[in-house]
Amino acid sequence: MSDIVWLDGQFLPRQDARISVDDRGFIFGDGIYEVTRCVDGRLFEGPRHLVRMRAGLAGLRIDQASLPDDAALLALHHELLARNDLTSGQATVYLQITRGSAPRAHQFPAASVPPTLYLSASRITPADALRTTGARAILLPDLRWARCDLKTVNLLGAVMAKQRAVESGAQEAVLHRDGVVTEGSITNVFGVLDGVVRTHPVGTRILRGVTRDVTLELLHAMGQPVEERALLLEELPQLSELFYTSTTQDAMPIVRLDDRTIGDGTPGPVARRLGEAFARALHDAKRLR
């Protein structure tokens, strides 16, 4: 099976791809990334990922002049999928852009240093089996920095939280800060309280997930009352449902949070309907590029 990646202007076998030890992604975690879901060789909500990518680059003041434009980037994704025999079935494309390679110094390098651009593609198995039983999660303090809206490759907050979850036999960590649920270690979190779906509003404390936006659209289309208002920790015992969303997981019901059973311990009606809506959305031509 071929495993072809794109690095700095060329396709090459993964085992031949090399970045410099001076790359600022390696030294400082100085870069951004995107993970895009692909269905039959097409990108699910591709343009939304590109918008977020460019906002992240602007937020970190990484110069975009030498990077491909949106059309060229979409074409690069498509070509990468084709070269990896991923034009049918489900896959993800990982994209990373760092501030480039220069001798170690915290301030930005000379303007002549181009960003590093890397893309790879992998086949995925949708998490449908877990979706039918529901996932387990643990509650942890959100120890991340104050710009969680930027999808940077500095992921230690996520790495430490996810590891704790896995060591506890859970699939995800639900994070809280100042008495409210922010998001998951690598997902956005939604709860159902008194029949209303609630999720943390957009801002610097969460990543604005592409799947979060799609979820809000699907919930509205279902006629489901939704409020972008953070869940309070003290409200958690009253939740009838809890679920998380991400590019690889779609909407995933949580049936146990620490030692607490959510609802009756099985995926609730909102999450189930959302799961069905997602299955359709993933094949909706209007969402595929």
Stretch that binds ligand PDD, among 68-76, 179-187, 197-205, 271-279 (CB under 6 A): 179-187
Q: Closest CB to ligand PDD among 210 and 281?
A: 210
Catalytic site residue from 42, 99, 151, 200: 151
Minimum distance, C-beta of residue 158 to ligand PDD, in the bound complex (Å): 6
Q: Closest CB to ligand PDD among 101 and 253?
A: 253
* Among 96, 120, 211, 224, contact with ligand PDD (rule: CB under 6 A): 211
String of DSSP letters for the chain: ---EEEETTEEEEGGG----TTBHHHHH--EEEEEEEEETTEEBTHHHHHHHHHHHHHHHT---TTS--HHHHHHHHHHHHHHTT-SSSEEEEEEEEES-B-SS-SS---TTSPPEEEEEEEE----HHHHHH-EEEEEEE----S-TTS-BS--HHHHHHHHHHHHTT-SEEEEEETTEEEEESSSEEEEEETTEEEEPPSSTTS---HHHHHHHHHHHHTT--EE--PPBGGGGGG-SEEEEEETTTEEEEEEEETTEEPTTSS--HHHHHHHHHHHHHTT-GGGB-
* Among 188, 191, 216, 252, contact with ligand PDD (rule: CB under 6 A): 188
Minimum distance, C-beta of residue 211 to ligand PDD, in the bound complex (Å): 3
Q: Rounded CA gap, 27 and 34, in Å?
A: 20
Does residue number 38 form part of the binding site for ligand PDD (CB under 6 A)?
no
Minimum distance, C-beta of residue 151 to ligand PDD, in the bound complex (Å): 7
Q: Rounded CA gap, 173 and 140, in Å?
A: 6
Q: Closest CB to ligand PDD among 100 and 209?
A: 209
Q: Closest CB to ligand PDD among 53 and 192?
A: 53
Does residue number 116 form part of the binding site for ligand PDD (CB under 6 A)?
no
Establish whether 286 is a catalytic residue.
no
Q: Rounded CA gap, 118 and 87, in Å?
A: 20
Does residue number 207 form part of the binding site for ligand PDD (CB under 6 A)?
yes
Q: Rounded CA gap, 106 and 116, in Å?
A: 17
Question: At 142, phi and psi to the nearest 5?
Answer: -85, 105
Does residue number 182 form part of the binding site for ligand PDD (CB under 6 A)?
no
Half-sphere exposure of 17 (CA within 13 A, CB side): 17
* Among 168, 240, 248, 266, contact with ligand PDD (rule: CB under 6 A): 248
Does residue number 247 form part of the binding site for ligand PDD (CB under 6 A)?
yes
Q: Closest CB to ligand PDD among 158 and 270?
A: 158
Q: Closest CB to ligand PDD among 109 and 126?
A: 126
Does residue number 246 form part of the binding site for ligand PDD (CB under 6 A)?
yes
* Among 4, 27, 32, 35, contact with ligand PDD (rule: CB under 6 A): 35
Minimum distance, C-beta of residue 277 to ligand PDD, in the bound complex (Å): 15
Stretch that binds ligand PDD, among 24-32, 133-141, 186-194, 226-234 (CB under 6 A): 186-194
Give the interface with ligand PDD as residue ranges (CB under 6 A): 35, 183, 186-188, 207, 209-212, 245-248
Residues with catalytic function = 151
